[in-house]
Amino acid sequence: MKRVIGMGLLVGLATACAWSADDQVALKIDWNKATYQSKTVPTLQVVVNPPLRRGSQIHDRVYEELKRLGADYIRYVPWLPYPRLAVAELSPPDGQQTYWDFSLIDPMTVDFLNATQGHSVMLNFSTIPAWMFQTPEPVKYPDNPDQPVWNYTTGTELRDPSMRELGDYYARLVSWYTRGGFTDELGRKHQSGHHFKIDYWEVLNEVDFEHNMTPEQYTARYDAVVAAIRKVAPQMKFVGLALAEPGRNARMFEYFLNPKNHKRGIPLDMISYHFYAVPAADETPEIQQHTFFSQADRFLVTVRYIEQIRQRLSPATRTTINEIGAILPGDPGEPGRAPAPIPNSYWNLAGATFAYVFGNLTAMGVDVAGESQLVGYPTQFPSVTMLDWSSGAPNARFRVLELLHKHFGPGDTLMETSIASPYIYAQAYRTSAGKREVLLISKRDRPMSITLPQAGTWEYVDQTTGGGAPVSAPVKGSLTLNGLAVGAVTFE
């Protein structure tokens, strides 16, 4: 046993020496050998919270950055911590009147739809009115629309087992934004004047947590919502599941993706699920770099498993992984308490992790990879933000998405690529525009040198660029990949 351990230590030391940070590693690309054609769109999600409201000090900058990015499949999610910003009918109709109110919801939603005009969007009004559920007593929520509350999604059984009430609520929401208004439960008309184009409607969010839905419950509710929306928006496409922990919910995929479990004619256009790298509370930044990429690798194993289920049961259904990010211990934060300082290197690490997941998904047939989220702030997951919550300026996470969106997209052909280091991710593409490019990602917080097969232009985001725009430089023969850098070489 001692001898075996000793030999193992020698092998480990030899391996460590073989991958010395000071070594120069060779990038090899076979431009004659295609391996796959990418379908993957890099994009992001926008989660409703107070900094997005008109009058916020960062409002204008936020929507300017969103418009400038020009991404497709952007996901918009009004959700549970802010019932007044997310639920359009906070009280049930009482026979004399209804309580529809879009006065706080409309400004942010309209600003989002205007900023993304000309691009595909995915809306998810994820929070069902609490009064639709059987609860021991009415669910309370703050009068202050900006005050978060985390117990709004109480109850598991709907008060209306036919689910007509649920479906009609969502049909009226869609009509408000696409058909200029709707007729309420008492036959009264409500006019919005909105005629927006909404491409995808995602049905609920993280149902493995919110209301603790079983596969049977969720599938029935999905069918009810989809059937109702199709009556008012027959061209709408739908996204299902939005699971928080896909690796623990194989039965949800098996049940939902089986067409036999749905009502006749209900489409299964897309499924969605999420991934966040989450370090332990006592991890330093030096340790977090190992954790994030290790957890990403485990998630990618889950993706392969889910893809096998999808291909077996519903191969025409597409996939969007529309929350990809990282969450530091202490989030979402507490009111009145300042968050712990976040080191600048963290934004690069989180950005590199997203880029790493994106690159791998391009080889797996996943259609959309969405970074999470445009704006977070104290009490609302500050470590997940892509824009500074005080100024609205981009951080490195946003800049990485900007770089990926510029260089890579669906229709790119993956070429056989290798690099002699486990700490560098490399994938070459012949893009849909005919360019020859390679995505390079540093998985460690230290510089590494790469020899290149030919000259080109290197555009990158790293700790020297921070939240500034990606920097370009000519390269010939070799380049230095700084710690936690993400970049693209465009070859001549």
Are residues 449 and 309 part of one domain?
no
Are residues 247 and 365 part of one domain?
yes
- Supply the CATH number for residue 424's domain: 2.60.40.1180
In whole angstroms, give the CA distance from residue 96 to residue 167: 22
The last residue of a domain, from among 359, 379, 410: 410
Are residues 423 and 351 part of one domain?
no
Are residues 344 and 219 part of one domain?
yes
Locus of tokens 């309580």: 99
Give the per-residue pLDDT at 411: 98
The last residue of a domain, from among 379, 410, 441: 410
In whole angstroms, give the CA distance from residue 72 to residue 317: 19
Are residues 388 and 433 part of one domain?
no
Are residues 456 and 403 part of one domain?
no
Is residue 238 situated within a structural domain?
A: yes
Are residues 174 and 26 part of one domain?
no
- Amino acid at residue number 278: V
Are residues 300 and 212 part of one domain?
yes
The last residue of a domain, from among 371, 394, 410: 410
Give the per-residue pLDDT at 430: 98
Are residues 171 and 28 part of one domain?
no
- Show Cβ contacts of residue 403 under 8 Å, excluding neighbours closer than 6 positions: 459, 460, 461, 470, 486, 487, 488
Q: Are 121 and 77 in contact (CB under 8 A)?
A: no
Is residue 111 situated within a structural domain?
A: yes
Are residues 442 and 390 part of one domain?
no
Are residues 423 and 368 part of one domain?
no
Is residue 11 situated within a structural domain?
A: no
Is residue 179 situated within a structural domain?
A: yes
Give the per-residue pLDDT at 20: 53
Are residues 460 and 387 part of one domain?
no
Residue 480 is part of which domain span? 21-36+414-491
Is residue 420 situated within a structural domain?
A: yes
Is residue 10 situated within a structural domain?
A: no
Is residue 396 situated within a structural domain?
A: yes
Query: pLDDT tens for residues 326-368?
Result: 999 999 877 767 778 899 999 999 999 999 999 999 999 999 9
How many folded domains does the chain comprise?
Answer: 2
Is residue 263 situated within a structural domain?
A: yes
- Supply the CATH number for residue 394's domain: 3.20.20.80
- pLDDT of the chain, 492 residues: tens digit per residue: 433 334 444 444 444 444 555 579 999 999 999 999 999 999 999 999 999 999 999 999 999 999 999 999 999 999 999 999 999 999 999 989 999 999 999 999 999 999 999 999 999 999 999 999 999 999 999 999 999 999 999 999 999 999 999 999 999 999 999 999 999 999 999 999 999 999 999 999 999 999 999 999 999 999 999 999 999 999 999 999 999 999 999 999 999 999 999 999 999 999 999 999 999 999 999 999 999 999 999 999 999 999 999 999 999 999 999 999 999 999 987 776 777 889 999 999 999 999 999 999 999 999 999 999 999 999 899 999 999 999 999 999 999 999 999 999 999 999 999 999 999 999 999 999 999 999 999 999 999 999 999 999 999 999 999 999 999 999 999 999 999 999 999 999
